[in-house]
Structure 1
């Protein structure tokens, strides 16, 4: 075992400083590539065309190639402390990188005539050392690409006949998932969950690259979990890291997929949450799991006919009946007011041109405040979807939001909203979706939602609500799907336990 592996094994957890500098490796590593290639081309030009190239120029280029190669080695080692790389490929990449630095220094020492003063005939080492440095550079670059993008990154698209001539195996076709012709008979993991993981997660969590020692490419690896334990807790999506990291703010270092990558849609998160809450089975069909009102329209959007419940078709023969508010015609919005909202950084998007309804989103303006929320009632008829998650709004903004009489969907996740603010939403009779993830809302706030008779979906991850509060709310709103608080089974067990305790108390009396 080489010294680098021993050092890495001795480091139980890389410090923030180490990882900070380590992330400069992809930037620094391009410098020795450029310097060495330029030095090699200049030497070839000098030898073949006998052009006069200043020896000092090549010496200077070689010096900086050696310095930058050494820096790339140091930063690369720091980056490797973060883990998640295939060990054998990482070791080869490390030694090849060290070789590039060593032979670059030798080439510089010979060219600058420093080595010639110590070793006779040192000049004979110049061309071989430069050539070896260039060859190792190509090999290190190849293995670096494998570590980042997978072992077949360079060769996966090699066409015939070059593939055969190079001795490469036949090209593997991209993973093709069986189309869903009947959503009720669709295999939940193979046809619904796995395609989501393959498109959003597997690039960084596979056999060649397993960030946090997590692989999501096979059922066995998903069950195994990651370095800190299980990634899914069957029946408890709110305790499952797979869901938690997707719901963190995109700027959070632990948010997945990382910022800049294709993010999961709300529908995809809902499907993963539903799958986990239903036991995270790898061999069951949709018809074998409980399909609630919240997930039914998402499943229906996958195609394949009506959704069944307990083996019988549901009343809806596709997506759930469209919300009445989405078929409502409202006056055309004043363009001057729309421009006024856009100047604050808000996105104002049409939901339906025929009905003149709008979606307003603060996804690009995290500093959106209570004062700016005063502009929203100017479009009180037209705003149907409002996304203010991860902004600076608090209860004061809800007094303005309460004036949006046609509001159907409201995002307030990761804001300063409290119970007092929710009290102001009682008049939003069209509200069907409310996201309160990461807020300070308690059971008292849930009690304020009882008057929202059309509320169908409520997100409560990382709030201060309790099982008792959720049970009480669901008693008042039986059709409400509460996600991230506790699941249906937990509610049933809690209700049963409460009943048993009551009976026990009565028996004592």
Structure 2
């Protein structure tokens, strides 16, 4: 079977993705065999040679299987070619020398070839050393070349002749003067480094795309350009961020930290302005939707509005821990429950795996009403009655209702939730009246109404009157038609939803 056929085979990639699991088997077997052999030869462990031989046999078997799965995984692409080649041959070396060590250890082979026992220890040692080297390169392929040594402290770093540690971006530092900030260097690049570069860098190039340098980002990857200057709605990197999180094409992948609504807005704005490399914020046209996102980048010295928008309303909220029995009941019903911050006891509850969740099931949430901060009920069977129950969720901060049948009447029940900042109403029955009502909610910062009953004119009116509220209307029908006409490579689902 040719590599091209394997690349196109879902079976090849399915089996390949078991490599990270399978590769732990030869690691365990070989290390156990090594320790037993050392213990046996030093008289510390009473173990027979047959036992060591048995473990070596399974280390060779598992190493071979791991090599096959690793090769199939590599067909998916996105890895540094030289590093991948080193890792592959080291893995093959582990399997080969494990087989040799097992063969010369067996009584049958020793009887056939004299002095074969002299080969045993060198073969065993080489297999073990290659195992360690292959493991290091495997980690580098997955997490980057400096993954193992990234956090080496001083003075060991200097003694080893290593370069100074690179600063890892975990949050975007406030800008002293937003207007004078360079849009790409100070606004866009920090977002990409924090959310995208981990999988799109020099050593790991998923989709043959690098995002650690602007020139390489412009070049694009195997699917073509990452963005089209002046047209964010037609740019692949934006469309992928707006796909449902459980979609295979969504980026960043499910389970990775996601871009916020403000971050997507800022990158889209940069692209729409022509993706300039060296222009300042003040030199570009700033829309009403972009103003709150830019204000959130400022320091406290830029004014109270910026400070308020930069700090989440739930940042200092602390509640008692939820009862474990109540959490168990939620999980039994198919809901996903995650802690947002251990010291606050706030929870994220998601019904992504419970599409049959109904109004009656809201009773399961009642015992943890004060702990729920993020609630995801998109694609479920809830109605306005469920929103009435949410009046009790006083710490609710982020609410997903996309692809449900909720209406203006249900939305009105959320008016008195003091900490609510985000509502996703994509593909709902909410109309212009509901949108205008939501605009009066104290503290609301983002609302998504793409494919809802709200009209473009109402969106423009609400955006104009409420500078601190970002109203996202997503793609319109004309834009979708243009994507299809242009042969868009990213599948646009009939029910695509905003992040």
Deviations 1:412-467 (A, max 9, x none): 4554x36xx52663772626754134x3x58x954676886856643232443679
* Count of aligned pairs between the two proteins: 421
Aligned residue runs from structure 1 range 422-441, under 5 A: 422=431, 425=434, 428=437, 430=440, 433-437=446-450, 439=451, 441=452
Structure 1 residue aligned with 2:68: 74
Does 2:110 correspond to 1:110?
no
Question: What secondary structure, in the 3-state scheme, does the structure 1 residue paired with 2:122 have?
Answer: helix
Structure 1 residue aligned with 2:136: 142
Structure 2: unaligned runs, 5 residues or longer: 314-360, 481-495
Question: What secondary structure, in the 3-state scheme, does the structure 1 residue paired with 2:471 have?
Answer: strand
CA displacement at 1:139 relative to structure 2: 1.1
Could you tell me how far apart the structure 1 residues matched to 2:156 and 2:473 are?
56
Could you tell me how far apart the structure 2 residues matched to 1:450 and 1:274 are?
17
Question: What secondary structure, in the 3-state scheme, does the structure 1 residue paired with 2:42 have?
Answer: helix
CA displacement at 1:380 relative to structure 2: 6.1
Alpha-carbon RMSD: 3.7
Structure 2 residue aligned with 1:370: 382
Does 2:56 correspond to 1:62?
yes
- TM-score, length-normalised on structure 2? 0.73
Q: Contact between 1:296 and 1:320, CA under 8 Å: does it hold in 2?
A: no
Could you tell me how far apart the structure 2 residues matched to 1:257 and 1:370 are?
28
Question: What secondary structure, in the 3-state scheme, does the structure 2 residue paired with 1:60 have?
Answer: helix
Could you tell me how far apart the structure 2 residues matched to 1:425 and 1:225 are?
41
Q: Contact between 1:206 and 1:215, CA under 8 Å: does it hold in 2?
A: yes
CA displacement at 1:403 relative to structure 2: 5.3
Q: Contact between 1:298 and 1:319, CA under 8 Å: does it hold in 2?
A: no
Could you tell me how far apart the structure 2 residues matched to 1:161 and 1:457 are?
48
Could you tell me how far apart the structure 1 residues matched to 2:180 and 2:123 are?
64
Does 2:278 correspond to 1:283?
yes
Could you tell me how far apart the structure 2 residues matched to 1:160 and 1:29 are?
32
The one of 320, 343, 348 equivalent to 2:364 is 343
CA displacement at 1:81 relative to structure 2: 0.8
Deviations 1:240-268 (A, max 9, x none): 12211122221111221112211112221
Could you tell me how far apart the structure 1 residues matched to 2:79 and 2:234 are?
27
Structure 1: unaligned runs, 5 residues or longer: 1-5, 308-315, 327-339, 351-358, 468-483, 485-509
- Greater Cα shift, 97-106 or 272-281: 272-281
- TM-score, length-normalised on structure 1? 0.72
Structure 1 residues 102 and 84, CA, compared in 2 at 3 Å: closer, same or farther?
Answer: same
Q: Looking at CA atoms only, which structure, 1 or 2, has the larger radius of gyration? A: 1
Structure 2 residue aligned with 1:411: 423
Question: What secondary structure, in the 3-state scheme, does the structure 1 residue paired with 2:268 have?
Answer: helix
Aligned residue runs from structure 1 range 296-375, under 5 A: 296-304=291-299, 318-319=305-306, 341=362, 343-344=364-365, 361-363=374-376, 365-366=377-378, 368-371=380-383, 373-375=384-386
Higher relative contact order (CA 8 A, sep 6+): 2
Could you tell me how far apart the structure 1 residues matched to 2:479 and 2:120 are?
73
Structure 2 residue aligned with 1:464: 477
Could you tell me how far apart the structure 2 residues matched to 1:14 and 1:39 are?
39
Could you tell me how far apart the structure 2 residues matched to 1:379 and 1:111 are?
69
